[in-house]
Amino acid sequence: MRIANLSAEASPFAKTGGLGDIASSLPKALAATGHDVDVWVPFFLEAAEWFRRRGTWPEQEIEPFDVTVMGASHRVSILRSTLPGSTVPVHFVAHDSLFHRPGGLYSRNEHGADDGIWRFSLFVRAALEAMKRMGERPQVLHTHDWHPGLAPMLGAWSSWRDPWFDDVASVLTIHNVGYQGIYGPEQLPVLGLPPETWTGGLVEHGGAINMLKGAIVAADMVTTVSPTYAWEIRTPEGGAGLDGVLRLKASRLTGILNGIDRQEWNPETDPHLPSHYSLEDLRGKLDCRAELCRLANFEPADPAMIVGSVGRLAPQKGYDILLEAAPELIRRGVRIVVLGSGEPALEGSMRLLEAHYPRRFKGFIGYDDALSHKIQAGSDVLAMPSRYEPCGLTQMYALAYGTVPVVRRTGGLADSIIGLHGENLDWATGFHFDDPSPHAFAAEVLHAQNAFFHRDSWSRLMKNGMKADFSWGRSANDYELVYRRAREVRGLPW
């Protein structure tokens, strides 16, 4: 099947979180099973820097052309490369003033305004126009999150639809329902959609433009990144205001657990680690632990348990819970190392904790891919106290690295970690807690600490996790079924 993925992020070129990992690992997995898969992303400054650092540059794919948004034309070029470690083509939509912006992928414009609707609409229009010019019509257009949401809307059944879409089915994957792309109604002309898309409730939600809602309504099939999250987003507690829309879509909504890229996350080959290790020979993990201690300014010979965590410092991730529990855990002998950036208040708390407990707490503030691998390998425990978690990848990376996860039982964390409860040591892979409070989190970390000092139990937990298979195999098949169903509901053959 010919599948075109449209995403704001794709690892390793430009990524802020798991969306970037999946937008490259899923296409690679599908291509490996024989599908013809492409990825389309904006050419962000971060991607340009990625190429510059390597002394290479993607090739120009077709002649630059103009895209019209709100009556004004904008010149875009399409650059082409491949996803590292594969032959999957990546097409970059390049437009310097829109995507070459300091301050991160989702930063505001020079006037401080959030012009995301504008940038991503131009991205979608340019990508579709390029596909037409190149004569590459996909059988399935697979869009990720709200940013390319205009694409399924343009292909929705309606009198005004472009006939190019007659043979294109659409699939939307929701990676996080908390981010919806909400803009004032005055922005409607940016989308270039007819007024009935507003009055008919396609793109309107609560008096504003809601890009995710429009994409949900328009897509032939909707998936999200774990079975539990597919259920949670249909409840008022988990739907962030879109639960009603998602309940209406229930027969076309399914949850597929993400897989991980074992080429990138493998302790036997990881180039970021000082020593390699495997299920059969874990000795290298001790070197990784010693190196992490040096980086964190911890005493390497100290046997005290190390709890690591890597993630965006956003309310979703529950870092306030972790940081509030930290003093008590440190008093009980635990050491903690966190890598993250985001909310300034949380960054401030990390600095304070580090000042108070210099050899027991380390907060690395920033985004650092190499360090994230070192933390996964060098820690004993990986903490994820998320308030909600659509899937979560870091707990799966932890399992692969023999690092035992302590997670809140929600979304994909509930689906990927088997909590130890006393009688399941033969197959448990980590620890669960339910209440999103510092107390409940600390109690579970202390439960883990108890197991940590029983070396046989701990080694069993580590090995159970390392044996767990979260590579893409089964989930890639599930996506194939979704693509078929998307074409079926449109009355198209596959």
**In this complex, which beta carbon is closest to ligand ADP, that of residue 401 or of residue 441?**
401
3-62: which residues touch ligand GLC (CB under 6 A)? Answer: 17-19, 22
Which of ligand GLC, ligand ADP, none does residue 9 bind (CB under 5 to 8 Å by kind)?
A: none
**In this complex, which beta carbon is closest to ligand ADP, that of residue 152 or of residue 340?**
340
Which of ligand GLC, ligand ADP, none does residue 430 bind (CB under 5 to 8 Å by kind)?
A: none
Give min distance, CB of 331 to ligand GLC, in A.
Answer: 31
393 is a site residue for ligand ADP (CB under 6 A): yes
405 is a site residue for ligand GLC (CB under 6 A): no
225 is a site residue for ligand GLC (CB under 6 A): yes
368 is a site residue for ligand ADP (CB under 6 A): yes
49 is a site residue for ligand ADP (CB under 6 A): no
**In this complex, which beta carbon is closest to ligand GLC, that of residue 144 or of residue 252?**
144
369 is a site residue for ligand ADP (CB under 6 A): yes
Number of residues that bind ligand ADP (CB under 6 A): 18
367 is a site residue for ligand ADP (CB under 6 A): yes
Of the listed pieces 230-238, 336-344, 373-381, 390-398, which binds ligand GLC according to CB under 6 A? 390-398
408 is a site residue for ligand GLC (CB under 6 A): no
**In this complex, which beta carbon is closest to ligand GLC, that of residue 152 or of residue 392?**
392
Cβ atoms of 376 and 403 within 8 Å: the answer is: yes
Site string for ligand ADP, 249-288 (x = CB under 6 A): ----------------------------------------
Cβ atoms of 417 and 394 within 8 Å: the answer is: no
Among 354, 380, 389, 415, binds ligand GLC (CB under 6 A): 389
**In this complex, which beta carbon is closest to ligand ADP, that of residue 343 or of residue 488?**
343
Give min distance, CB of 383 to ligand ADP, in A.
Answer: 12
**In this complex, which beta carbon is closest to ligand ADP, that of residue 220 or of residue 389?**
389
Q: Which residue is nearest to ligand GLC (CB)?
A: 18
Which positions lie near ligand GLC, rule CB under 6 A? 17-19, 22, 175-176, 225, 258, 389-393, 412
By the criterion CB under 6 A, which residues form the site for ligand ADP?
Answer: 17-19, 21, 310-312, 339-341, 367-369, 372, 391-394
